[in-house]
A = this chain, B = another copy of it.
């Protein structure tokens, strides 16, 4: 029997369950995080394979909360709802708002006797190009939409990462988006391609020199024409071989090049370029977002805001939209 851990006012258990990590939030009825816990049991790193692994990871993270706060609803978002997750919550199509996510959520009844409501991912199918998908980011976006009706009306939200997302918001809904494999491409090129061979592992580079190398990459991207990327990345080798750039800076140059290409394309695609007047929001981790701020500045653009983890807020809004908890008194959820 699990030892209970009662918290006065506990109203929701919210799980941000991704590929490599599981984060849990015990929240009150106003959306305030009372407690949070995290472990490395992402869906590709479960304590055991298959369904028992999901059960065990869930019980391990939330057992005390569940035992101490019976009847508190549980929601989850992220890769836990993918085809490789606990249960598949198929993608819903754009345009989509938080209500759309709630309307297409799926429920899992866990062995602990608790029902978990899992949010779906979102797909966007342009008329003239292959479809795009995201899963997890829709929850972070839901967290922003509820708080800021001005941004919910119209904004471009950028979520940098392994697979960066550029998302168009109009009228409180995600209307279209584009994925960029920037982070993953950087990882495979530095780890597995010839470009990584010139990059030292242990050398600490000067911060200003790193900024300059990053800026060189962004400016090269800015000057690029269609198709130029696979040519330009080779410079992360030639600059090293010809000793025009110190080896410990080649990574920053490559990072600037890849992030620069993402920004050049994303700004055009989302109509968020300089002078559009549309808010541009950066959502994500500090260090990476700072690189995006630096890159955007080189393109003459200052983001409207930089937001850290908005997933707890988004899961809270998802729970409200699903009718699992009541909206906080005096608050309009704007969904």
Binding site for B on A (CB under 8 A): 83, 91, 123, 128-133, 163, 178-182, 184-185, 188-189, 191-194, 220-221, 223-231, 233-235, 237-239, 241-242, 244, 258, 260-266, 268-269
- Chain B, Cβ-Cβ closest to A184: B193
Are A233 and B129 within 8 A (Cβ)? no
Contact in complex: B193, A227 (CB < 8 Å): no
Task: Decide: A262 and B227 in contact? CB cutoff 8 A.
Answer: yes
Using A83-B241, A180-B231, A231-B265 as known contacts, list a sample of 18 further A-B pairs with CB atoms less than 8 Å apart, ordered by residue number in A: A130-B220, A130-B238, A131-B242, A132-B235, A133-B241, A178-B231, A179-B231, A181-B233, A184-B194, A188-B189, A225-B226, A225-B269, A226-B228, A227-B261, A227-B265, A230-B265, A231-B266, A231-B269
Select one of B133, B179, B234 contacting A242, CB under 8 A: B133
Contacts of A264 in B (CB 8 A): 226-227
Ordered by A's residue number, 19 sampled pairs between the chains whose C-beta atoms are within 8 Å are A129-B220, A129-B223, A130-B235, A130-B238, A130-B244, A131-B242, A163-B234, A181-B193, A181-B231, A181-B233, A184-B194, A185-B193, A188-B189, A226-B226, A227-B266, A227-B268, A229-B230, A230-B265, A231-B266
Beta-carbon contact of A180 and B230 below 8 Å = yes
- Asked if A131 contacts B244 (CB within 8 A), the reply is yes
Cβ B262 vs Cβ A181 within 8 A:
no
CA distance A131 to B158 in the complex (A): 33
Residues of B with C-beta under 8 A to A185: 189, 193, 230, 233
Contact partners of A182 in chain B: CB under 8 A = 230
A180 contacts B234, CB within 8 Å? yes
Bound Cα distance A34, B83 (Å): 60
Q: Which residues of B contact A241 (CB under 8 A)?
A: 83, 133
Q: Which residue of chain B is the closest to A237 with respect to CB atoms?
A: B133
- In the bound assembly, the distance between CA atoms of A178 and B194 in angstroms comes to 17
CB–CB A238/B188 < 8 A:
no
Counting from the closest, the 5 A-B pairs by CB-CB distance are: A227-B265, A130-B235, A227-B264, A227-B261, A179-B234
Q: CA of A244 to CA of B180 in the docked complex: distance in angstroms?
A: 20
Q: Which residues of B contact A242 (CB under 8 A)?
A: 91, 123, 131, 133
Q: Assess whether A238 is in contact with B193, with CB atoms less than 8 Å apart.
A: no
